Amino acid sequence: MDSIASHFHRNGFFSPIRVLSDAQIFSYRSLLYDTLMGKLEDPLVSHRYVWQLHLLMPWLAELVQQPSILDAVEQVLGPNILVWNSGFIIKWPEDNQYTSWHQDRTFWGLRPERAVTAWIAFTTSTRENGCLWMVPGTHRKGQIEHANRYAKGNMLSRGQEIDLDISSNKAVAVDLRPGEMSLHDVSIIHSSEPNTSDEIRIGCNITYIVPEVTQTLGPDTAYLVRGQDNHRNFFLAPTPHDSESKETKEYYAKTALERGNILAKESSVN
């Protein structure tokens, strides 16, 4: 049977991987409802500050370090691992929100692109409620030109969409059960459709990188979760211990704003 690494490098993604038990995912989902759902009007978790939530929420800092997750990521990236980003993508029942065909790497400024996105299902993720769709092998195409369309309902920050016709019969649906994870290359072409079901769809996105990666668009922050960082290309973030403390909130607001400013820049596409 193929290893995670060989399948990943050939196709650009791998799934499903069971990383959390039913009890664990129930606990994390409850924590999400308690800490995030109740703060949708809080400036710290507004649309402007949805980056690097592991620097604000101690339980999410714990999640991004789960050995079951890191063991799978290590098969792809190796023993030294940093978290570059974490957050949640929530699709409400019978909602028209979607993501167009795109590559994650396009506006991130990370070079080289030795990064992987872990997508953890907090709820069932199906074709009906808007699961991910991947186009196998497209991670080998390099950077593809994107057009910023800002279309209504597009969850991407610029409504970015690759300027390429994607045949639907080449795409693969990534169905996941709660507690399962998919890994995908930041260069693979992927998308997701609207949630046409009567159930919420929640996914936790975590982007892992290796220490050799640099940020080409300005000073940036990352969080060491396994191994060593002998390159120091990023400011290393501390572990949050209390999401309500002034120190944690101020640090998170500062780093999230800096990240937002980086992502607002026009990086070169090549």
Structural domain tally of the chain? 1
Range(s) of the domain holding residue 132? 4-263
Q: Which of 131, 174, 187, 202 lies closest to 17, judged by CA?
A: 174
Give domain status of residue 269, yes or no. Answer: no
pLDDT reported for residue 16: 98
Give domain status of residue 270, yes or no. Answer: no
Give domain status of residue 258, yes or no. Answer: yes
pLDDT reported for residue 149: 63
The answer to whether 260 and 51 are in contact (CB under 8 A) is yes
Task: Take residue 21 and report the two structure tokens written for it.
Answer: 């038990």
pLDDT reported for residue 173: 94
- pTM above 0.85? yes
Give domain status of residue 268, yes or no. Answer: no
Going by C-beta distance under 8 Å and a sequence separation of 6 or more, which residues neighbour residue 130? 91, 97, 98, 192, 193, 194, 195, 196, 201
Tally of CA atoms within 13 A in the half-sphere of 6 that contains its CB? 3
Going by C-beta distance under 8 Å and a sequence separation of 6 or more, which residues neighbour residue 192? 91, 98, 99, 130, 131, 132, 133
Main-chain dihedrals φ then ψ at residue 196, nearest 5 degrees? -95, 5
The answer to whether 234 and 128 are in contact (CB under 8 A) is no
Q: Distance (Å, rounded) from C-alpha 240 to C-alpha 249? A: 9
Give whole-number Cα distances, 89 to 41, 119, 206, 228, 268, in Å: 17, 10, 11, 30, 26
CATH of the domain at 197: 2.60.120.620
Give domain status of residue 155, yes or no. Answer: yes
Work out the angle between the directed axes of helices 4-11 and 67-77 (0-180°, nearest 10). Answer: 60
pLDDT by position in tens, the chain (length 270): 468 999 999 999 999 999 999 999 999 999 998 876 665 555 555 544 468 999 999 999 999 999 999 999 999 999 999 999 999 989 999 887 867 787 887 778 899 989 999 999 999 999 999 899 999 988 888 777 766 666 576 666 565 667 667 766 688 999 999 999 999 999 899 888 888 999 999 999 999 999 999 999 989 999 999 999 999 999 999 999 998 899 999 999 899 888 888 877 654 333
Give domain status of residue 16, yes or no. Answer: yes
Q: Distance (Å, rounded) from C-alpha 199 to C-alpha 22? A: 18
Give domain status of residue 129, yes or no. Answer: yes
